[in-house]
Amino acid sequence: MRRTQWSLLMVLLAAPAFGQITGTYLLTSTNAVSPSSATTTIGVWATWTDPGFPGFKFPFLFLSGDYDLTAGEGVFSNPVNVLQGPGSSTGVIAGNVISGAANGQFHLPPLFVGSLDNPILLATYDWTTTNFTPRTVSLDTSNTTSFMILEWVVPNPGPWNLFPGGFSPGSGVINVVPAPAAWILVSLPFVAAARRRRS
């Protein structure tokens, strides 16, 4: 089969699969926050479904995307771009909101080959608080206008923007817990009461 015929076949095969692709951002926290560990690192990951026909899967990679990252409270700091392709930015931090973050990678085979990691880590941010009341703090991405994926073939069909139809905003939580000593003080009356019942 000639190269042009093969390319056309790949585009035709990929077209019906495109409607099945969905993407989102995963938001992770490295640790629970407490008085002894007042900072956690938030990871922003891109992930997507990898559709295909029975017995065959099309490999796709993350090309680029943008987002705002919002925490229900607290303060962000120390932004780090992990994926540093053209146009990447950690955004502008204003307390618990990060605006205008974007990440991408090169994929121009055979000279530049992008990562097929799925999920793929885009950026990290530290988050901290001075309020250690036990609770969960919400994380979400908003104001996304692009979530681009590319098929791993030469020449590459795409890129395709999954936003808005195939994109779901990302969400996550940060767990805030009291200091271990506080738990001990809270539990002492219950331990004493249990001992009294036994005697």
pLDDT digits (tens, 9 = 90+) for 53-91: 555 566 888 999 999 999 999 999 999 999 998 889 999
Q: Quote the number of domains for the chain.
A: 1
Range of the domain at 179: 3-198
- The whole-angstrom separation of Cα 150 and Cα 142 is 22
Please compute the mean of the pLDDT values over residues 110-120 and round it to a whole number. Answer: 85
Strands 39-48 and 23-29: antiparallel
Which CATH number characterizes residue 56's domain?
2.60.40.680
- The whole-angstrom separation of Cα 61 and Cα 57 is 13
Q: What is the pLDDT of residue 27?
A: 97
pTM of the model: 0.78
CB-count exposure of residue 47 (10 Å: 0-12, 13-18, 19+): middle
Q: What is the pLDDT of residue 36?
A: 93
Measured CA distances, 91 to 6, 69, 101 (Å): 41, 9, 4
Measured CA distances, 144 to 8, 48, 163, 164, 169 (Å): 31, 15, 8, 9, 8
pLDDT, tens digit, 9 for 90 and up, residues 133-166: 999 999 999 889 999 998 876 555 667 888 888 8
pLDDT, tens digit, 9 for 90 and up, residues 16-49: 444 478 899 999 999 999 999 999 999 999 999 8
Tell me the average pLDDT of the chain: 81
CA 159 to chain centre: 20
Q: What is the DSSP letter of 58?
A: -
